[in-house]
Amino acid sequence: MTESSGSKLLNGEACQRTLRGKNAGKNGFVKNHCVFEHPRKYRRPTERSQNAAPNSSLYKKPFSESFEETPLLVAVLTYMGYGILTIFGYFRDFLRHWNIEKCHIAHEREQQKDFVPLYQDFENFYTRNLYMRIRDNWNRPICSVPGAKVDLVERVTHNYNWTFEHTGKVVKDVINMGSYNYLGFAENTGACASAAIETTHAYGVGVASTRCEIGNLDIHEELEQLVARFLGVESSMAFGMGFATNSMNIPPLTGKGCLILSDELNHASLVLGARLSGSTIRVFKHNNMQSLEKLLRDAIAHGQPRTHRPWKKILIVVEGIYSMEGSIVRLPEVIALKKRYKAYLYLDEAHSIGALGPNGRGVVDYFGLDPKDVDIMMGTFTKSFGAAGGYIGGRKELIDYLRCHSHSALYATSMSPPVAQQIISSMKIIMGEDGSTLGKDRLRQLSENTTYFRRKLREMGFIIYGNDDSPVVPLMLYMPAKIGAFGREMLKRNIGTVVVGFPATPIIESRARFCVSAAHTREMLDTALRAISEVGDLLQLKYSRRERPLSTPGWTYEESLLQD
């Protein structure tokens, strides 16, 4: 770990020496002025772990992320498991085709059998034969507030997950490790809920128009001013839906002749918005600044594909916290690159707003940077504020332009008044303007819970991805059967978790994703950790090969297999 950071610093210095050397004017000039040099080609391929940044002066505190590599035996067994499932999938499809077995899922009618097949691609095969078998882990109906504890509707299936029936019973007080409730504002009592009720009495629930027509309420104006003050930008605009904020606001900003540089693991809304805009999209490796710099340099040096004209604008699209990996964007380096190469930055803080930073102002606050450096700050109100919707913040000219040209402002209904009031109250609590210390307490509680939870899980021997400060905690499962088994076993122990497999993650890297909340007390976390450890022992999930304190009792089968 230290050797790779050392080598980066060394190459950085070597880089500057060549600047003043003889090679300054030769061919390959483009390669000699890199801010972040490529690391040496040969590196021990045990872990990808970046502890110290190459330009450590940009970071005020250590940036420690780790993505431990998949153990080889586990990868082989995972592929074998998927192979067996695929063979049985083909077998069942054969039985369905020859009508030996009834087909429960959508299929073509008799008259359409000779047409181009609709359901034979891999996505449909996967849904029919793999997803359906463990479908009871998803779409579980909830019948209470999704706070720290939640009530679930009990379901049974008599035909292996093709249909479900409600038994009429309710599973009460399931510890909720899946909701994006980072600051615990998903509650039905308290100041926010009372304010929302009063607003409902005043305004009703529906707005019945778009922002541009007659749906612009004074509560929207108040909300936007508050959001601008919260973020530290000149002006902001709020939308009714977070997904629509991304997908409907990137098209007005860029068009043909513009370049979008987007991270490998960007959310579907960003990808959709980028594709809708019609710009050229180039993808850089996840959180990899060398890859981004190379793309920027190539874009500026070579211009547009055939005409070699300069790009009209270059927009770098990154997220604050990536929810599947738990990693935090390297914002200081992105801003340094953006300033150097004169590109624009679009930062999607869906998960990080309210959850990171000493004042809860997101990833910009976490790194101690100036909000004016980020051109377009986007975020959602769904996660930390307990409401729904999204916002975009930036300079006044930008927001005024978006008010007239955004598809969402012209065609989508504006935010509902009680939702807007919930955001206003929760934001005031976070900023401390309601006169109490509730905001500060919750921020501190979230950061303590995150550190405790992550440390404990690492100590138990699980492979946990991501940055040590991110409240999103992915725990690696890898094998397909363990996805279903983990979800079911945790529910038996009264803990609700979200398990994720393909296509949201790469096919062998399926995981369970925990979202730590400020509403979780230490006892709840301890209960959850005990249950996770139990299930981890039962399913043999403790794959990590790093040294851990010798408090694990006895001999575990997987450990002996992995000591090769």
Partner 1 sequence: MPLGDCWKNLSWFYYQYLLVTALYMLEPWERTVFNSLLISVLGMAVYTGYVFMPQHIMAILHYFEVVQ
Look at the chain and count its residues.
564
Residue 84 in the binding site for partner 1 (CB under 8 A) = yes
484 binds partner 1, rule: CB under 8 A: yes
Q: Is 81 in the site for partner 1 (CB under 8 A)?
A: yes
Report the distance separating Cα 316 and Cα 329, nearest Å.
12
Contact pattern for partner 1 over residues 495 through 534, marking x by CB under 8 A? ----------------------------------------
Structure tokens at 529: 């950790």
Helix or strand (DSSP H, E) at 412: none
- Could you say whether residue 562 binds partner 1 (CB under 8 A)? no
Using the rule CB under 8 A, is 130 a contact of partner 1?
Answer: yes
Q: Provide the 10 A C-beta neighbour count for residue 214.
A: 11
To the nearest whole angstrom, how small is the minimum distance from the Cβ of residue 511 to partner 1? 16
The answer for residues whose C-beta is within 8 angstroms of residue 90's C-beta and 6 or more apart is none
480 binds partner 1 per the rule CB under 8 A: yes
d(CA 123, CA 93): 14
Give the C-alpha separation, 242 to 268, whole Å: 12
Residues 334-373 that bind partner 1 (CB under 8 A): none
Min CB(248)–partner 1 separation in Å: 39
Q: Report the nearest approach of partner 1 to the CB of residue 481 (Å).
A: 4
| 126/111 Cα distance (integer angstroms) | 25
Considering only 317, 356, 430, 485, the residue that binds partner 1 (CB under 8 A) is: 485
**Which strands sit side by side in the sheet containing 472-476, from one edge to the other?**
472-476, 511-515, 498-500
Query: Cα dist. 321→55, 97, 101, 286, 348 in Å?
Result: 21, 45, 45, 12, 8
| CB 377, CB 233: distance < 8 Å | yes
Compute how many residues bind partner 1; rule: CB under 8 A: 21
The answer to whether 85 contacts partner 1 (rule: CB under 8 A) is: yes
Between 202 and 538, name the residue whose CB sits nearer to partner 1: 538
Taking the CA atoms of 284, 289, 290 and 294 in sequence, report the sign of the dihedral they define: positive
> Given CA atoms 120, 123, 126, 131 in this order, what sign does their dihedral have?
negative
Looking at beta carbons only, is 130 or 473 nearer to partner 1?
A: 130
Catalytic residue among 66, 279, 291, 323: 323
**Toward partner 1, which CB reaches closer, 30 or 538?**
538
Residue of 11, 539, 545, 559 interacting with partner 1 (CB under 8 A): 539
Does residue 424 contact residue 223 with C-beta atoms inside 8 Å?
yes
| Known catalytic residue at 323 | yes
Contact between 160 and partner 1 (CB under 8 A)?
yes
Q: Between 107 and 488, whose beta carbon lies closer to partner 1?
A: 488
Q: By CB under 8 A, which span of 107-115, 127-135, 162-170, 196-204 interacts with partner 1?
A: 127-135
By CB under 8 A, name the one of 540, 545, 556, 559 that touches partner 1. Answer: 540
Q: Per CB under 8 A, which region of 169-177, 263-271, 401-409, 480-488 contacts partner 1?
A: 480-488
Nearer to partner 1, 130 or 495 (CB): 130
Asked if 38 is an active-site residue, the reply is no
158 is catalytic: no
Strand partners for 153: 170
Phi, psi of 127 (to 5 degrees): -60, -45
- Side-by-side strand order, sheet with 314-319: 235-239, 390-394, 376-380, 344-348, 314-319, 259-263, 280-284
Minimal distance, residue 560 CB to partner 1, in Å = 13
Sole window of 74-82, 140-148, 348-356, 360-368 interacting with partner 1 (rule: CB under 8 A): 74-82
The residues annotated as belonging to the active site are 323, 351, 383
Per CB under 8 A, residues contacting partner 1 are 77, 80-82, 84-85, 88, 130, 133-134, 160, 479-482, 484-485, 538-540, 557
